[in-house]
A and B are shown apart, each in its own frame.
Chain A
Amino acid sequence: MIQFIKEEYVRERKCHRLRHGRRFGQCPWKTLDELKPGEKAIIVGVRHHPFLRRRLMEIGIREGKEVFMRRDAPLGDPVEISVMGMNLSIRKAEAKFIIIRDVQKIEGSNNEEN
């Protein structure tokens, strides 16, 4: 059972997503693995995980930062994201732990990957 301890977010914003996963409610938040190439969003936080959360925050996945999905790897799995002016490669399984909001398409981005 995965624990979601980001309680402050849950309390403040009354979003079910963190507590119940994707099926509950009309939650405006998504997870990073749902972001398509050419889209950007704002990072809400990282779901609780024994070491991943700390790791991701240390490397630069931090609250309030803008994240931009650059591309999928040719075989589909890791994805390349851009955050705080650097490009990171992250597996989709790990991107699931990153909660994002305000997904929007970047204008003029050439969306080569479908």
Chain B
Amino acid sequence: MKKIKIALVGNPNSGKTTLFNLLTGARQHVGNWPGVTVERKEGRFHYKNHELEIIDLPGIYSLSPNSIEEVITRNYIISEKPDIVLNIIDGTTLERSLYLTTQLIDIHVKMIIAVNMYDEVLQKKIDINFDRISELLKIPVLPIIARKEIGIKKMLDRLLREITHQKNEERIHINYGEDIEKAVKELECQLLCFPDVSRAYYSRWMAIQLLSGDEEVIKLLKGQSNLKGLKSLIRNKQNQLESLYKNEVDSVIMERRLGFILGIIRECVKFPKQEISKIDITELIDSILLNKYLSFPIFALILWGTFQLTFTVGGFFSGWIHYFINLISGFILTAMSEGMLRDLIVNGILSGVGGILVFLPQIMILFLVIAILEDSGYMARVAFIMDRLMHFLGIHGKSFISLFMGIGCNVPGIMAARTLENEDDRKITVLINPFMSCSARLPVYVLITGMFFKEYAGTVIFSLYILGIIVAIFTAKILKAFFFKKKSVPFVMELPPYRTPSLKSLVVHMWERASLFLKKMGGVILVGAIIIWALGYFPRLKSFSPEVEKLKLQMNVETSAGEKEDIAQRISYLKATEQMEYSYIGRIGKFIGPIVKPLGFGWREGVALITGIVGKEIVVSTLSVLYGAEADKSISFKEKMEANGVTPYSAYGFLVFILLYVPCLATISAIMRETNSIKWTAFSIAYGIGIGYLFSFIARQILMLLL
């Protein structure tokens, strides 16, 4: 039994992914195409004793190599040679979609065409003569309704039959006119001089592409001898044709394609004479959702709802996960004797696992909501209403959702950047997301502002959120100006009709994100958590300070059980403080002490910043351990910090640092995963620390000057 490779090709919004999810269910493998952030989705399924492997290629409008998605799709088809191409077409936009089909015909692959959304076609009273189209194109054309699972079996049967029955010789050629055809023939002859290339690719297609000045195809020929001769021949032909047509060759070819499509449409498709005066539901919904005055309040409401659902309901489940992790660690604490293994399990592994699992409910809920917004068609409207604002930052309207979710948690926020079609937009959105102040930073703000700013705490926290947004805007501008100044992609986007999402597709989508998070990011977070644990655990401090010994003596003398317990507690807290100071992490903290000195805080804050890399909520516990807040309650936490030279100014500086530097391990691994580049991840970390240091310094200086 041979495995059959199917490539799914179609326009955006053609229902490609719905069909893919329907066919493969959860048996998907999601990865990245090498070197880029474009998603590569593969899935397997069995049908009638055949094992089918299906790949969901990016949604594109054409195969001309203008964007990464188009290049990827084309390279996949020409070099990995799938057994058959399944071209999905939205039946309501047949004329537009057939353009891609004409290019596929040129590439010369086995294919079948599935006309999706046939229910909407019928509703619009468009009459498509499938037999006639199949006859003209010599390609089977079948109607399907992917969302309702209608016509799928028939399509698959036909697909299997075509793999064995479709013959290359019977394929049609699109006629580009006498002059172009002559030039194509000549080039084809020339291409015979490149035997390895002309054997690997269809020579007519290559000739056409070369004539239209396709750089990517020229790259395929690289390293071949007498390439120069071919190039000059191409130039020659192009000039000849250009002076003949008074137009560029690729424009002429494009127009011929459009003419070919028009011919097919005229012959096979009948549109209703009179526009049916039925109320257009999409138009009705849009007149409310895109209304001048209502659009923003409704969008704000939907955002608020998404936020609440993700972080309140998700937070509820996260709370339970926390609770269970604590139960387990509590159990281990009592069941195991004190030692390294116990400490590793409780403080390294379990806290790492907990740190991964608490994100899971949030990610699942957020992606369920995003999938609903996306599949229903609202997401495109979000981009439509937000574009003016976000265009100013140099990013896409859809980025707004990702950034807004970042306020709840940067990890799902960064993962939400997936919905952006353009690679540069996606990268910028991912890289500025950490500056959106996430909810894990709030405990630190609350602790510090509660101590140092008391009645102004609210204002101070608010100022941090605003500062984060300002830095994000500033960073977006810088990134756009220096790193992503490539041609800005035109913002031409389809606003698809509103559709009810299919439940199966939603669930598959949600599951896929969750498993992706666990598989791809979980490992990084766990390893990171264990490393930070080890840095804090080793080397062991053998002898403790005289103070501990004094307390021990005191405990022996003390008679009442309550007192004894109290002193034992103080001893263990004191030991923890001294151990941390002695450990590698304490030493690193002392080492970076002089570096953070200009910011006005000491090595303890330095250590807290390092442990804070695991997660911002850890900063609070580290600080309280290092200052021995629990061990000695005679003086308050604040007084201890003040005694070590922390002033309200430097406390604010510390908060600014917390806001801007590396958010947490999970965010780092999310950035790594989404940018698919170590370089950009390193940049994000270094930039965050740099900008954090700078702003922290400036903030303190300004405050000292002003107040």
Contact = CB atoms under 8 A, between A and B. Distances in A.
A113 interface: yes
A interface majority secondary structure:
mixed
A8 interface: yes
A91 B61 contact: no
B258 A80 contact: no
Given A7-B246, A78-B384, A89 B92 contact: no
Interface in B308-358: none
Contacts of B496: 86-87
Interface in A41-85: 50-60, 62-63, 70-71, 73-78, 80, 84-85
Nearest to A57: B254
Contacts of A90: 490-493
A15 interface: no
A84 B93 contact: yes
Given A55-B66, A76-B388, A86 B491 contact: no
Interface string B99-130: 10000000000000000000000001000000
Interface string A70-114: 110111111010001111111100100000000000000000110
B291 interface: yes
B99 A75 contact: no
A78 B61 contact: no
A60 B490 contact: no
B290 A73 contact: yes
Contact of B491 (A74, A75, A76, A94): A94
A51 B492 CA distance: 12
B167 interface: no
Contact of B380 (A53, A56, A89): A89
Given A7-B246, A57-B254, A62-B258, A84 B388 contact: no
B266 interface: no
Contacts of A52: 490
B295 A74 contact: yes
A55 B70 CA distance: 12
Given A54-B254, A57-B254, A75 B389 contact: yes
Q: Most chain-A CB neighbours within 10 Å: which of B66, B96, B287? A: B96
Contacts of A113: 292
A74 B487 CA distance: 26
B492 A88 contact: yes
A64 to B, nearest CB: 9
Contacts of A58: 61-62, 64, 99
B interface bracket (residues with beta carbon within 8 Å of A): 35 or more
Contacts of A89: 380, 383-384, 387, 491-495
Given A7-B247, A94-B490, A59 B61 contact: yes
Nearest to B493: A89
Contact of A84 (B96, B248, B290, B384): B96
Contact of B388 (A8, A51, A54, A78): A78
A9 to B, nearest CB: 11
Given A8-B246, A52-B490, A86-B92, A77 B388 contact: yes
A86 B246 contact: no
B380 to A, nearest CB: 7
A54 B67 CA distance: 12
A96 to B, nearest CB: 12
A86 B494 contact: yes
Interface residues of A, number: 37
Interface in B59-101: 61-62, 64, 66, 92-93, 95-96, 99
B385 interface: yes
A88 B93 contact: no
Given A8-B246, A86-B494, A77 B387 contact: yes
Contacts of B99: 58
Interface string B34-65: 00000000000000000000000000011010
B495 A88 contact: yes
Given A7-B247, A57-B254, A60-B96, A74 B291 contact: yes
Q: Which of B61, B66, B247, B384 has the most CB of A within 10 A?
A: B384
Contacts of A77: 387-388, 391
A98 B435 CA distance: 39
A57 B384 CA distance: 20
A25 to B, nearest CB: 22
A5 B249 CA distance: 13
B389 A78 contact: no
A87 B494 contact: yes
Contacts of A51: 66, 487, 490
Contacts of A78: 384, 387-388, 491
A89 to B, nearest CB: 5
Interface in B477-524: 487, 490-497
A55 B495 CA distance: 16
B296 interface: yes
Contact of A73 (B64, B283, B385): B385
A74 B296 contact: yes
Contacts of B491: 78, 89-91, 94
Contacts of A57: 254, 258
Interface string B262-299: 00000000000000000000110011001111011000
Contacts of B64: 54, 58
Nearest to A87: B495
A86 B296 CA distance: 24
A80 B388 CA distance: 13
B214 to A, nearest CB: 12
B66 A59 contact: no
Contact of B66 (A54, A62, A73): A54
Nearest to B295: A74
Nearest to B271: A85
B391 A91 contact: yes
B705 to A, nearest CB: 38
Contacts of A87: 282, 494-497
A80 B96 contact: no
Contacts of B494: 59, 86-89
Contact of A80 (B93, B124, B247, B290): B290
Contacts of B495: 80, 87-89
Nearest to B282: A87
A80 B99 CA distance: 22
A73 B390 CA distance: 13
Contacts of B291: 74, 112
Sort A-B residue pairs by CB-CB distance and give the 3 closest, nearest first.
A75-B388, A77-B388, A60-B96
13 contacts: A7-B247, A8-B246, A51-B490, A54-B254, A73-B290, A74-B290, A80-B384, A88-B495, A89-B380, A89-B494, A94-B492, A112-B287, A112-B291
Interface of B: 61-62, 64, 66, 92-93, 95-96, 99, 124, 246-248, 250-251, 254, 258, 282-283, 286-287, 290-293, 295-296, 380, 383-385, 387-389, 391, 487, 490-497
Given A55-B66, A59-B61, 5 more contacts: A7-B246, A8-B246, A55-B61, A58-B61, A73-B384
